[in-house]
Amino acid sequence: MDRRSFLKAGLAGSAATGAALATPALASGKIKWNMVTAWPKNLPGPGVAAQMLADRIGILSGGRIEVKLHAAGELVPGRGVFDAVGEGTAELYHAVPAYWGSKSKGILLFGSQPFGLLADEQFGWMAHGGGQALYDEMYARFDLKPFLCGNSGPQMGGWFREEIKSADDLKGLKFRTTGLASEMCSKMGMAVQAMGGRDMFQALQSGALDAGEFIGPWTDSALGFYQVAKNYYWPGVGEPSSAEECGVNAKVYNDLPDDLKNAVSMACESLYNPVWTEYTTKHALALQKLVAEQGVQLREMPEDVIMAMGKAAGEVIAELREDEDELVKRITESFVAYRDSVGAYKSKADNGQMNARAKVLGL
């Protein structure tokens, strides 16, 4: 889908309403839920995944829960879905934890962390390293029950209007990113800005931004960033993976019978791997086309940039470990312990396999 067609499709359903929503049990026994999302409808990647989640909840509930998806701006703004669901305006949302740092910086660790967890490690921390209990404890403060329900896999370093040759080139650079990556980049002297994908395109086009990262080749292609910035950098160390989440209004969730609670939980858990592997597959195909057909210059971040980012990221984590909120400190310590334990193993297991394959196949 080209950018023009995608934007026309997304704008077609953007009429906003503000009525508060309930969770009515119909005479047929069905429960009707409204899902609000942070994405344009059917945006390749997260917009597609949101619809998959809505559909799967319906299937696994045996049709007893019917979920209607509302794209960003239809009921509430994309960045307003967290509050809307906590307050009961809608029953559930689809977004990413990286958007909720204003609520608590501890939330940001559940989505992505500079030099942090890969997609499988993120799920492992939640399921086997104590992460889910901390996730539940944090979101309960906001009347939400959270679930991870997908992952983008490794993100890219971003689209740059000009080539970057050293860390000094980043000072004062107007750059779009989000989550803890924003704090890392700010410490490096970058002028960080938060905005959605469509706004990022406009800002790159006008020169209001010098560079920005969004997700990866599949999603980024649909938004047309290659039309206004030809230098595409890797690796995206600010977000080695980015978990997608479903937040359900806590009262609505707690009022469900146990079998429907399990249906919602399993809908989220069962989508994590399919969503992640779809991103991986389609990112790979899209990147080939960007380079071969769109004249994109694929560039590796200079080593001194990586090292400067690593130093800044270390400062961000150190600050979280000393946060005045005791829960943020516990979340951070749990994350660091899991990262270091599993990372020591994967540096031999996964990295060993990938490096051996690259040597033999010349990749």
Q: Is the pTM of this model over 0.85?
A: yes
> Cα angle vertex 131, ends 149, 71, to 5°?
25
Within 13 Å, how many C-alpha atoms sit on residue 119's CB side?
A: 22
CA dihedral 125, 129, 132, 135 (to 10 degrees): -80
Residues annotated in the binding site for Na(+), as ranges? 214
Q: Which residues form the domain of 277?
A: 21-154+240-282
- Give the chain's length: 363
Q: Which residues are annotated as a binding site?
A: 155, 176, 213-214, 239
User: 56 lies in a domain?
Assistant: yes
Task: Give the CA-trace dihedral at 205, 206, 209, 214, to 10 degrees.
Answer: -30
304 C-beta neighbours (distance < 10 Å), count: 12
Tell me how many domains the chain contains.
1
In a domain, 14, yes or no: no
Residues 119, 153 contacting (CB under 8 angstroms): yes
Q: Is residue 351 part of a domain?
A: no
* Residue 24 host element (H or E): none
**Domain-located, residue 108:** yes
Residue 44 lies in a domain: yes
Give the pair of three-digit tokens for residue 63. 């049709």
Q: pLDDT of the chain along its 363 residues, tens only?
A: 454 444 444 434 433 333 344 444 444 579 999 999 999 999 999 999 999 999 999 999 999 999 999 999 999 999 999 999 999 999 999 999 999 999 999 999 999 999 999 999 999 999 999 999 999 999 999 999 999 999 999 999 999 999 999 999 999 999 999 999 999 999 999 999 999 999 999 999 999 999 999 999 999 999 999 999 999 999 999 999 999 999 999 999 999 999 999 999 999 999 999 999 999 999 999 999 999 999 999 999 999 999 999 999 999 999 999 999 999 999 999 999 999 999 999 999 999 999 999 999 987
Residue 252 tokens read as 């609505």
| Binding residue positions for substrate | 155, 176, 213, 239
- Report if residue 92 sits inside a domain: yes
Q: Is 40 part of any domain?
A: yes
Distances (CA, A) of 212 to 115, 287, 320: 18, 17, 25
Count how many Cα atoms sit within 13 Å of the Cα of residue 85 in the half-sphere of its side chain. Answer: 31
The per-residue pLDDT for 28 is: 56
- What's the confidence (pLDDT) of residue 21? 46
What one-character DSSP code corresponds to residue 50? H
Cα separation, 276 vs 143, whole angstroms: 28
- Domain membership of residue 28 (yes or no) is yes
User: How far apart are the C-alpha atoms of 328 and 106, rounded to whole Å?
Assistant: 5
Using CA of residue 288, residue 292, residue 294, residue 297, what is the dihedral sign? positive
> What CATH number corresponds to the domain at position 127?
3.40.190.170
